[in-house]
């Protein structure tokens, strides 16, 4: 099961109480205070984990609590610090405070650590209050309460290539062909019910790309129709958008109309998506109608087009090479320093 939205309640540990005690030893009638401090409460910590790809762990375990600090003890023994609760998050997770609506964290890097709720400090023992004028303090502080809150987790997958297309365009078949992912494939629409993240390997280049296969969009997806509206956010962070078009028009569809509809849905959801680099992949070129449709499509749209066939494997290696080149050029252009005037 793929979960990309859920709500959790997080509670950090309370600090331990400080101890009020005095030395009681033979021949030490005025031993003085020796109460230790309480331990700090554990934090609730978010950790970026590239091996986690969805939020299912938090759907069925919504309550997370760190350990409280141990109380201080006599003989100047401080309490042990409470154990923190570490929540491993998939990269691309946005954490929002349900009470204020404020985004409090965004997990985008492997190993990134964010303290979501801070544990309370431990209370001071009476040794801390000893002075030249107060040699027998009986005061000790209670520990502070740990922070707590209710938070909304929303996953926006981080991938190099975002794959979009209509149902039955062949997205799942393409994902199977060029990545390690094994999505379900069938001859009816909406076979894929949740995003798939696949890895495209390039052993000779010592490189790889992450491909996000978004479930089939339909007209009106941005207005809450079909499945696409739930998953459009998964392509927001992609460096390159890949539009898969059924060039044979197997379901009686017009390739140019499909492409225009997909662009319109992306624009309605977030106009900035149209500014992303894109490539059109013309699928089902093994069918006789595809060649004429491709010629018409080329004349109507000025965009990079790569013809393939998931059925017989035609053009798949060329597609992988083109994707790597485009993603590399996009990444280089993004990080390149601007020239000084």
Which residues does 62 contact at the CB level (< 8 Å), separation at least 6?
6, 7, 8, 9
> What is the pLDDT at residue 86?
96
Q: Same structural domain for residues 119 and 244?
A: no
Residue 99: band (very low, low, confident or very high) from pLDDT cuts 50, 70, 90: very high
Q: Same structural domain for residues 203 and 294?
A: yes
31: left (phi over 0), alpha (psi -120 to 50) or beta: alpha
**Per-residue pLDDT tens for 273-332?**
899 999 999 999 999 899 999 999 999 988 889 999 998 999 999 999 999 999 988 766
Instruction: State how far the Cα of 165 lies from the Cα of 169, in Å rounded to an integer.
Output: 6
Residue 339 lies in a domain: no
Residue 127 lies in a domain: yes
**Final residue belonging to a domain, choices 104, 121, 155:** 155
Residue 117 lies in a domain: yes
**Side-by-side strand order, sheet with 85-90:** 85-90, 44-49, 113-117
Q: Same structural domain for residues 325 and 204?
A: yes
Residues in the chain: 341
> What is the pLDDT at residue 218?
56
Measured in degrees and rounded to the nearest 5, phi and psi for residue 278 equal: -140, 155
**Final residue belonging to a domain, choices 97, 132, 155:** 155
**Domain region containing 74:** 5-155
Q: Count up the domains in the chain and report the number.
A: 2
At residue 223, does pLDDT exceed 70?
Answer: no
CA angle in degrees (0–180, nearest 5) for 125-126-128 = 80
CA angle in degrees (0–180, nearest 5) for 285-194-153 = 140
At residue 155, does pLDDT exceed 70?
Answer: yes
The residue among 126 and 198 whose pLDDT is bigger is: 126
At residue 224, does pLDDT exceed 80?
Answer: no
**Final residue belonging to a domain, choices 90, 123, 155:** 155
> What is the pLDDT at residue 52?
86
The CATH number linked to 170 is 3.40.50.300
Q: What is the dihedral sign for C-alpha 169, 172, 173, 179?
A: positive
Residue 245 lies in a domain: yes
At residue 270, does pLDDT exceed 80?
Answer: yes
Residue 341 lies in a domain: no
């Amino acid at each position: 099961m793929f979960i990309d939205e859920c709500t959790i309640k997080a509670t950090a540990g309370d600090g331990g109480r400080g101890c009020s005690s005095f030395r009681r030893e033979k021949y030490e009638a005025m031993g003085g205070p020796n109460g230790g401090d309480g331990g700090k409460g554990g934090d609730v910590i978010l950790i970026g984990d590239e091996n986690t790809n969805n939020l299912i762990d938090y759907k069925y375990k919504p309550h997370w609590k760190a350990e409280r600090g141990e109380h201080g003890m006599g003989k100047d023994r401080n309490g042990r610090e409470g154990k923190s609760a570490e929540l491993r998050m998939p990269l691309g997770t946005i954490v929002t405070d349900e009470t204020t609506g404020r985004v409090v964290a965004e997990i985008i890097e492997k190993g990134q650590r964010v303290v979501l709720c801070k544990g309370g400090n431990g209370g001071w023992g009476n040794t801390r209050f000893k002075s030249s004028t107060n040699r027998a303090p009986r005061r000790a502080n209670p520990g502070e309460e740990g922070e707590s809150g209710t938070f909304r987790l929303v996953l926006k997958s981080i991938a190099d290539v975002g794959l979009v297309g209509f149902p039955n365009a062949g997205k799942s078949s393409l994902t199977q062909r060029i990545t390690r992912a094994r999505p379900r494939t069938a001859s009816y629409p909406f076979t894929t019910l949740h995003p798939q993240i696949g890895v495209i390997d390039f052993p000779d280049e010592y490189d790889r790309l992450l491909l996000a296969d978004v479930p089939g969009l339909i007209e009106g997806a941005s207005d809450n129709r079909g499945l696409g509206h739930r998953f459009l956010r998964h392509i927001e962070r992609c460096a390159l958008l890949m539009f898969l078009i059924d060039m044979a028009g197997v379901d009686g569809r017009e390739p140019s109309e499909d492409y225009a509809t997909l662009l319109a849905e992306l624009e309605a959801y977030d106009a900035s998506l149209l500014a992303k680099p894109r490539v059109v992949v013309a699928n089902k070129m093994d069918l006789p109608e595809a060649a004429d449709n491709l010629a018409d499509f080329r004349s109507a749209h000025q965009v990079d087009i790569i013809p393939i066939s998931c059925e017989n494997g035609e053009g798949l290696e060329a597609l992988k090479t083109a994707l790597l080149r485009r993603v590399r050029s996009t990444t280089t252009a993004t990080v390149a320093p601007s020239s000084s005037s």
